[in-house]
Chain A
């Protein structure tokens, strides 16, 4: 049963990801990206990564995409005000996308040649309890550093969103 579910989810993920790129309407793109995230969440579940499954739904599908949708819906995006992308822009975009896919496929090749990693107890590692234990013992320092990252994020958000009166006058 598992391979069938895996294949279904994988196909949904890939098809909706293609739709993200090819959809004319940006709101449709965002919605299909949400579908992609859901199918990826399902794939996490098949690997028994239950915490990752629910975090994928809460953070990616539920929070980040809400922000995307906010930006798309509430900024003026009528077709006539949208500047046409020049050819140079297209070349740069496809070149960087090509480089990215090169990096990913190289990573996959290296990963495949490395052989089996020494992973014990893989069934249990994705559960919240085990994840918490690892996070608060082995990875405590990165965890604390991430809070500084959040601090930086908040400062950045406020700087972007909130102009002081002096700046807005100019």
Chain B
């Protein structure tokens, strides 16, 4: 393996940059969520810390660090610490294969604005998502609290159920593109040739599954406060609680990035060929991608503050009896239509 050092240094810097951006966005999503909730409920939301309450997330994060790092007596101590660690780790891992922008040339060198373009990109995401179950499961079980345990069981059953529909809906996209690499999938949606126009059903299935995977309302049965106190993180405090909450926001950000890349063309935008300078084109592309991501984040929040929570049997019925058969039919229909047109 002949990997030159400059390549590694560039990649490391890129990893750090995207890492920082992810953390910053996740921090500010908490603020954004409260503001959106306030807007939808005709309130003001946080407005004390700094102008428009803009410093609120920093105050919250700082406070979390200085809270008591509390471990219940009956808990399995090492697993209790491991749970939030795994949740945060898996959330931070997925950002590495999303193409944040097209290839640009700076100072005579070409850069891919993507940390790792791997051959099995989209499958890697499915893999990391399937590992994400452990954080919640271990955390909830280790607390040795009945409510936490129920939260953890509910969350993990829900996550594994919706993983299936998610995997099946991605297959239709792979059939269209003939590649598992996210870079290829995005590059094929040049201009306005977005996958959502060919895969509307697949998009809806993926969107619902993504909501369920992130444990977002209306699928937030894992932490429904009316019956389970705080769900799987009832016993957590300090930054360990922060990790669980943070991981949820990072997952939301990454899911929105994946939805944008798979179905809404990623960094592609209409009339992009009219911009002649490739560097400018690339920078606009990145901005457009983030615009799409924030639109979907807003959609997630809008859904959360509008729809009531599902009942558990309704949730399981939707996942198993609706989404899986629909995703399978969508896959076969996609195949039949493409073959017929060939």
Whether the pair B156, A58 counts as a contact (CB closer than 8 A) is: no
Interface residue from A1, A34, A50, A57 paired with B118 (Cβ < 8 Å): A50
Q: How many residues of B contact A (CB 8 A)?
A: 25
Whether the pair B120, A128 counts as a contact (CB closer than 8 A) is: yes
Interface residue from A27, A66, A127, A128 paired with B133 (Cβ < 8 Å): A66
- Give the number of A-B contacts (CB < 8 Å): 60
Given contacts A27-B79, A66-B156, A69-B134, contact A50 B126 (CB under 8 A): no
In the complex, A66→B126 CA distance in Å? 15
Interface residue from A2, A57, A128 paired with B1 (Cβ < 8 Å): A2
Given contacts A1-B3, A57-B131, A61-B131, contact A127 B141 (CB under 8 A): no
In the complex, A50→B122 CA distance in Å? 12
Whether the pair A54, B127 counts as a contact (CB closer than 8 A) is: yes
Complex: chain A residue closest to B86, CB-CB? A31
Is B153 close to A, CB under 8 A? yes
Chain A positions 23-47 with a Cβ under 8 Å from a chain B Cβ: 25, 27-28, 31, 34
Chain B residues within an 8 Å CB radius of A63: 130, 160
B-contact bits for A104-133, CB 8 A (1 contact / 0 none): 000000000000000000000001100000
Whether the pair A128, B180 counts as a contact (CB closer than 8 A) is: yes
Min C-beta distance of B151 to chain A, whole Å: 13
Chain B residues within an 8 Å CB radius of A31: 79, 82, 138
Chain B positions 125-140 with a Cβ under 8 Å from a chain A Cβ: 126-128, 130-131, 133-134, 137-138
Chain A residues within an 8 Å CB radius of B123: 51, 54, 58, 128
In the complex, A127→B123 CA distance in Å? 13
In the complex, A58→B123 CA distance in Å? 8
B-contact bits for A65-87, CB 8 A (1 contact / 0 none): 01001100110000000000000
Min C-beta distance of A77 to chain B, whole Å: 11
In the complex, A46→B30 CA distance in Å? 40
Min C-beta distance of B225 to chain A, whole Å: 23
Complex: chain A residue closest to B127, CB-CB? A57
In the complex, A151→B141 CA distance in Å? 32
Is B41 close to A, CB under 8 A? no
In the complex, A140→B68 CA distance in Å? 59
Complex: chain A residue closest to B178, CB-CB? A129
Q: How many residues of A contact B (CB 8 A)?
A: 23
Chain B positions 51-101 with a Cβ under 8 Å from a chain A Cβ: 76, 78-79, 82
Given contacts A66-B133, A74-B153, contact A27 B120 (CB under 8 A): no
Given contacts A50-B119, A50-B120, A53-B120, contact A73 B127 (CB under 8 A): no
In the complex, A54→B134 CA distance in Å? 17
Complex: chain A residue closest to B129, CB-CB? A62
Min C-beta distance of A64 to chain B, whole Å: 11
In the complex, A62→B118 CA distance in Å? 20
In the complex, A128→B180 CA distance in Å? 9
Chain A residues within an 8 Å CB radius of B120: 50-51, 53-54, 128
Whether the pair A62, B130 counts as a contact (CB closer than 8 A) is: yes
Complex: chain A residue closest to B157, CB-CB? A70
Min C-beta distance of B100 to chain A, whole Å: 22
Complex: chain B residue closest to A127, CB-CB? B119
Complex: chain A residue closest to B153, CB-CB? A74
Complex: chain A residue closest to B167, CB-CB? A58
Whether the pair B124, A54 counts as a contact (CB closer than 8 A) is: yes
Chain B residues within an 8 Å CB radius of A1: 1, 3
Min C-beta distance of B104 to chain A, whole Å: 27
In the complex, A70→B141 CA distance in Å? 10
Whether the pair B119, A128 counts as a contact (CB closer than 8 A) is: yes
In the complex, A127→B119 CA distance in Å? 8
Whether the pair A58, B76 counts as a contact (CB closer than 8 A) is: no
Interface residue from A2, A53, A58, A70 paired with B130 (Cβ < 8 Å): A58
Give 19 new A-B contacts, CB below 8 A, not counting A54-B120, A61-B130, A66-B137.
A1-B1, A1-B3, A25-B76, A27-B138, A31-B138, A50-B118, A50-B119, A54-B126, A54-B127, A57-B130, A62-B130, A62-B131, A66-B130, A69-B134, A70-B156, A73-B137, A73-B141, A127-B119, A128-B119
Binding site for B on A (CB under 8 A): 1-2, 25, 27-28, 31, 34, 50-51, 53-54, 57-58, 61-63, 66, 69-70, 73-74, 127-128
Q: State the 6 A-B residue pairs at the shortest beta-carbon distance, nearest first.
A: A62-B130, A57-B127, A54-B123, A58-B127, A54-B120, A73-B141
